[in-house]
Amino acid sequence: MAQQLIARLEDTATGEIIDQAFHAPIPSDQRDRAAAACEAIGHPHRALPLSNAATPVTNSATDQLLNRSWRPQLTITGIDGLPDVANAAAVMWPSLTLKLSLRLPPTLDAAQASLRLKMLLEEDPPYSCDVDFSVDMVSQGSEAPTLSANLAEHLAAASHLFFGKTAASLGGGGGIPFLAMLGERFAGSEFIVTGVLGPESNAHGPNEFLHLPTAHKLTTALAYILHNMEDR
């Protein structure tokens, strides 16, 4: 039954989200940003430790970036009710609990999407079974505006000076909607949102660490930008 419910939301063959209520138009300038980022970093999947002959869902570098930021993605992050393999038996289990994470496009109304998801999973359940869906957290996304010419100039200069490459922007998901909150609180302000992980830093993994050479370069780059923007 759980498979049938998931199939209402996701195409199990492609991983694409079926319901168009969870999609949003991708602005042309965001497509251009993704293409420019790929010119700087190459194919994003090549930085991943893929097993053997495993391949990404698309070979288009631009689409790989757009998939992680502008197209909805479903992940089952936990399951309760199934035994581990050592204790598994050929029996029926009375209940099963799944925890779902649905990443949404940043311009989509996340609160409305959560209501749509609840209806989609609970309405007309297979075999008239009991299905209950509750929302743990709703995080509203945020679309970064085009940088002012002044900030873009200093950002590009800092990137070339300290990294030797053109600056690029990447879209990403997050469970804390602080960017939307900051944008609402400080309307009209510009933000540089970045991080200092660097190569093989294993974000969110048990062995997560900071790559110190990257941290040093980024710190000096931000100092350069702030110094040159102080008279703005």
What is the pLDDT at residue 47? 75
User: Using one digit for the tens of pLDDT, what is the confidence trace for 58-80?
Assistant: 889 999 999 988 999 999 999 99
Q: Which of 6, 9, 25 is nearest to 17 (CA)?
A: 9
Q: Which residues contact 145 (CB under 8 A, 6 or more apart)?
A: 190
**More confident of the two residues 24 and 47:** 24
Q: Which residues contact 200 (CB under 8 A, 6 or more apart)?
A: 211
Domain boundaries, the chain: 2-128, 149-229
User: Using one digit for the tens of pLDDT, what is the confidence trace for 76-110?
Assistant: 999 999 999 999 999 988 899 999 999 999 999 99
pLDDT at 180 over 90: no
Q: Which of 140, 136, 137 is nearest to 181 (CA)?
A: 140
The pLDDT of 103-126, averaged and rounded, is: 95
**Which fold, 2-128?**
Alpha-Beta Plaits (3.30.70)
pLDDT at 232 over 60: no
Greatest Cα pair distance, the chain, in angstroms, is 72
What is the pLDDT at residue 139? 87
What is the pLDDT at residue 62? 93
pTM for this model (two decimals): 0.83
pLDDT at 23 over 80: yes
pLDDT interval class at 231 (50, 70, 90): low
pLDDT interval class at 166 (50, 70, 90): confident
Q: Which residues contact 136 (CB under 8 A, 6 or more apart)?
A: 99
The pLDDT of 108-131, averaged and rounded, is: 95
pLDDT interval class at 225 (50, 70, 90): very high
